[in-house]
Chains A and B, each alone.
Chain A
Amino acid sequence: MSTSTITSVETGLPIRVTPVDEVSLEARASSLATRSIKTTSKRAALNLSIRCIDLTTLEGADTPEKVASLCQKAKRPDPANVDVPQVAAVCVYPEMVEHAVEATKGSGVKVASVAGAFPSGLSTLDARTADIADAVRRGADEIDIVLNRSAFLAGDEKRAFEEIVASKEACGEVHLKVILEVGELGSYDKIRQASMLAMAAGADFIKTSTGKISQASSLPRMLCMAEAVRDFTYHTNIPVGIKAAGGIRTAKQAWHYLVVIAETLGTDWLNPERFRIGASSLLNDVLLQLKHLDSGYYSGPDYVTVD
């Protein structure tokens, strides 16, 4: 695309949406992935990764017990080591919100709920805003919705934008994360546009993926979104958060994301208020790495809890 502009609902200012060059973007992401994270930096990265995790279970077979188990892991990732911090939040379906609220009460671990006809987003807007309001009523601290890719890709950006505005209203004071489902957008230009659109419409966070499709998060896609956040914040002074989700399973992947955030948005974004990683299996790999740092020996999967 060539340049277009988008206007922020909060500032009323038009912002230019700049194009993205795929090859240079990917080269930059690869270059950031060569950062060598050792010793004290590695420990700090592992701990920060844990603090930023949205520990997630989004299965049709989720039960109150499963959610309780997840919440326990969220509060105390390593029962043997009190120095290991708790995760940022647990992320569940609306039906599970009350169980999660109960299980995390008083811990500081937040409860996030997907809502709004997750993962497709293709039900009526009324049904979706009702779903959001319901999850909020059940006690969710944060709501993860999806961008209407159908409208966005069909060229009805106005509708996609207005739906986010409506969803934000339904959230009230609760934080809204907008999932772009980057793997369905087809190009970095579209990811950049979608990012700007979601932020301008009032998203508190923009998020890569539902985790429900194979083309989920990737380092260059995260970089593309981070550059959009940088640009939006530059023009509006509104610091929008960013969340990577889908396919992040290893500690090394996690610190690559941290490096991308640090060197694109700066250290102000290196905290759970502005950065999240949605994941389920990642936590155990980070714990194994921490054990290795502590003992000097490589650990094994029997030494972390499977929840």
Chain B
Amino acid sequence: MTGNIPITKTYKLFIDGAFPRSESGRTFSVVNPQGELIANASQASRKDLREAVRAARSAQNTWASRTAYNRGQILYRVAEMIESRKAEFLDLLKSGGVNSRTATREVEESIQRWVWYAGWSDKYSQIIGSVNPVSGPYFNFTVPEPTGVVGIIPPSEPSMLGLVSRLVPAIVSGNTAVVISEGHSSLTAITIAEVLATSDVPSGVVNILTGDQTDLLPWIIGHLDVNAVDISGINQDVDLTILEEASSNVKRLVSRKVDEESLELISDFLEMKTVWHPIGR
């Protein structure tokens, strides 16, 4: 008899490699286009956000100091693992109202994004960096470095490709991320978190909060220990004056379309460092 009652998944938050419930104890309902309840997802609070940022910060140095080759391998491994869970992602996307053909393409493209950016890990600094011919006896070079802790507000649609397109170019260079996902796309986000939790991506490199963007946005925009925020998925009806607080620590704000993959999207979360040294005997 029990076989007829499916076990539904509890969607929790993903912070520092663990899956805690929101400290607030609150959840929100995720429904399908027919209005049927699919899940009660955790609704993250600003304190959950604080924990997520703390985890991201403490993971950042070690993630950035992995060799580029190693980061590339780890990201490629994520692609392999999503590939093996394709069916689950397809079902999730379809439960959000995406037709089967579109869902298949979205999953394929999402996997390809991981692969594409994984391959960039040990190449972008050769394209973006430079040796600069200064007019003097100095060796002068410019290298890219990760910005630090990045907040990511991915677009809700397409839910999987939207998140992957914004997350992977940010972390490939050694940034760590705090993602804020809402609505039905939260389910995809947390499922990706499950992939990450069992992958080789170190704890804290990616943290995923689900809940209400409007609740959390001011706190991540104003957080002094967040270096950049990707606002590509900011809701149309949000009052943009909340972005003013980005100036509290001169935070980098980035907004991009998700329909492309590009080296520039890696650059968005890089700082260029220039080093001078004399040439002499």
A–B direct touch in complex (beta carbons closer than 8 A): yes
Is the Cβ of B278 less than 8 Å from the Cβ of A187? no
Contact with A along B172-197 (1 / 0, CB 8 A): 00000000000000000000000000
The reply to whether the CB of B280 lies closer than 8 angstroms to some CB of chain A is: yes
- Closest chain B residue, CB of each to CB of A22: B280
Q: In the complex, which residues of chain A have a beta carbon less than 8 angstroms from the beta carbon of B279?
A: 23
The reply to whether the CB of B9 lies closer than 8 angstroms to some CB of chain A is: no
Q: In the complex, which residues of chain B have a beta carbon less than 8 angstroms from the beta carbon of A189?
A: 281
The reply to whether the CB of A268 lies closer than 8 angstroms to some CB of chain B is: no
Bound form: Cα–Cα A23–B140 in Å: 14
Name the prevailing secondary structure of the A interface residues. Answer: helix
In this complex, how many residues of chain A approach chain B with their Cβ under 8 Å: the count is 9
The reply to whether the CB of A21 lies closer than 8 angstroms to some CB of chain B is: yes
Is the Cβ of B278 less than 8 Å from the Cβ of A24? yes
Bound form: Cα–Cα A186–B137 in Å: 18
The smallest C-beta distance from A60 to any residue of chain B, in angstroms, reads 34
Q: In the complex, which residues of chain B have a beta carbon less than 8 angstroms from the beta carbon of A186?
A: 281
Bound form: Cα–Cα A43–B278 in Å: 38
The reply to whether the CB of A93 lies closer than 8 angstroms to some CB of chain B is: no
Is the Cβ of A188 less than 8 Å from the Cβ of B278? no
The reply to whether the CB of B138 lies closer than 8 angstroms to some CB of chain A is: yes
Bound form: Cα–Cα A303–B225 in Å: 77
Q: Which of A173-219 contact B (CB under 8 A)?
A: 186-189
16 A-B pairs (CB sep. < 8 Å):
A21-B278, A21-B280, A22-B278, A22-B280, A22-B281, A23-B137, A23-B138, A23-B278, A23-B279, A23-B280, A24-B278, A26-B280, A186-B281, A187-B281, A188-B281, A189-B281
Shortest Cβ-Cβ A-B pairs, 6 listed: A22-B280, A23-B278, A187-B281, A23-B280, A23-B137, A22-B281
Interface of B with A (CB < 8 Å)? 137-138, 278-281
Since A23-B138, A23-B280 are in contact, a sample of 12 more A-B pairs with Cβ atoms closer than 8 Å, ordered by chain A residue number, is: A21-B278, A21-B280, A22-B278, A22-B281, A23-B137, A23-B278, A23-B279, A26-B280, A186-B281, A187-B281, A188-B281, A189-B281
